Structure 1
């Protein structure tokens, strides 16, 4: 496994950093390390915040120091690097692509020199790892979009993107759990309700993967109604 660094971030956090690149194995290791740190139940550690290649450990600066936390977590990091990664879940997410649901699909297809359907086929032929959640409640930063589809984000962001919209920004992809401004290229929309303020814990988590599959407009309506009634079960595949 690659070398890592532990550095202080102010007086209430330390960051564990690996190589500066988007790498699924590095990210999965960070999530594993984060789980082990929380399970260790250090009295002063408050939470962990994963990103693409870093894990920030937040602690109560009135009870401990960055040096003490670094010394406590280093054995856990070394332990995690010696064991196999645990199995992960892959969520199967339905998406209606193109038209009013995906206003940027044709632009992305042109960028890739593909037809709209070929672009959808290329996009749905990959599983996408959820590297971390952020920006909005439940917004999943996923990668990696195939090179030919990796179109840069819009130069001028939209002021309103509907909840459930699925977008591309370079090699990143993600879905908007709530209505929001945004500059990603919107290629489709899922009928699933991705965020509920009354139950803010998303069904998916960082470290999971997503496999998108295409549906038509009739299927969109049926799945949306079932999801709102609580009778639609999002399927998973164990890896």
Structure 2
């Protein structure tokens, strides 16, 4: 599958490759594929930052220029057919407790979707979500797409503090708060897994991965939390 794209300079040592402005899994997988391929080249590329419909490329201005690099990227795309729909998935299972103590917006989302608690949990856990991009804060994954029935919009007035581990939705997006932070997403539950540790900042998941939420009881929440704090809990990889 081919996509239209354009190059946009964003600084002396950065450029954006801009694709059609949609939230589309196939397009995002193509962007992730291109990001990995460019890092494998020896073209003065320092880093690649994939997002929903853009790919930021940071480069060494002493080794290449905007014009030179765009020509090289064009060749990579054309010669290696990188913009293809790759259906392979890396799925990570993440436990979530949907107890009302943790899911402070459960009632509002249930009312919005004219559904039940059981149906809401089923809808939120039945499908693996693609991580389109990482951002906002370390370890925060922007994922989609959520069922229309529970795709409630953000709060008009964001909360000053959202507890670490909170799992939430904002329209068709879903994600987890890795640390306590302000936020306006609708909170459905909480994971007992520590999503960000400044002493070990490497995230436990990356853009291009899929997250599969699994509902757990409050008892299991505290049990897993203890294991995770001891460093003896490993996230399951389903694929």
What TM-score, normalized to structure 1? 0.94
In 2, distance between residues paired with 1:184 and 1:129? 18
Deviation at 1:4, TM superposition (A): 1.9
How far has the Cα of 1:98 moved from its partner? Answer: 3.5
CA contact (8 A) 2:30 2:84 kept: no
Instruction: Please give the alpha-carbon distance, in whole angstroms, between the structure 1 residues aligned to 2:122 and 2:84.
Output: 36
The equivalent residue for 1:108 is 109
Partner of 2:165: 164
Tell me, what secondary structure is at the counterpart of 1:91?
strand
Q: Could you say if the C-alpha distance between residues 178 and 237 of structure 1 is closer, same or farther in structure 2, counting changes exceeding 3 Å?
A: same
Partners of 2:84 and 2:3 lie apart in 1 by: 14
Checking the alignment, whether the CA contact within 8 Å between 1:47 and 1:59 is kept in structure 2 is yes
1:148 paired with 2:178, answer no
Moved more, 19-28 or 2-11: 2-11
Aligned-pair distance for 1:192? 0.2
Identify if the C-alpha distance between structure 1 residues 20 and 119 changes in structure 2 by more than 3 Å, giving closer, same or farther: same
Tell me which residue corresponds to 2:181.
Answer: 180
Match of 1:91 in 2: 92
Take 1:84 and 1:52, find their aligned partners in 2: how far apart are those partners?
A: 15
On the 8 A contact 1:88/1:208 being kept in 2, the answer is yes
Query: Is the 1:89–1:208 Cα contact (8 Å) retained in structure 2?
Result: yes
Show the counterpart of 1:126: 127
Equivalent pair of 1:165/1:176 in contact (CA under 8 Å): yes
Report the counterpart of residue 4 of structure 2 in structure 1: 3
Q: Helix, strand or coil: the match of 2:49?
A: strand
**Pairwise CA distance, 1:86:** 7.2
Q: Confirm or deny that 1:198 pairs with 2:199.
A: yes
Question: CA RMSD of the aligned region, Å?
Answer: 1.5
Cα distance change on mapping 1:214 and 1:17 into 2, 3 Å: same
Deviations 1:73-106 (A, max 9, x none): 1122232436663733111110001312010011
Query: How many residues are treated as equivalent by the alignment?
Result: 237
Q: Give the gaps of 5 or more residues in structure 2.
A: none
Q: Which runs of 5+ in 1 are unaligned?
A: none
Q: For residues 87 and 124 of structure 1, what CA distance do their matches in structure 2 show?
A: 20
> Is the contact between residue 94 and residue 215 of structure 1 (CA under 8 Å) also seen in structure 2?
yes
Report deviation, 1:14. Answer: 1.6
Report the secondary structure of 2:111's partner residue. helix
> Which shows bigger deviation, 78-87 or 106-115?
78-87
Contact kept in structure 2, 1:88 and 1:209, CA below 8 Å:
yes
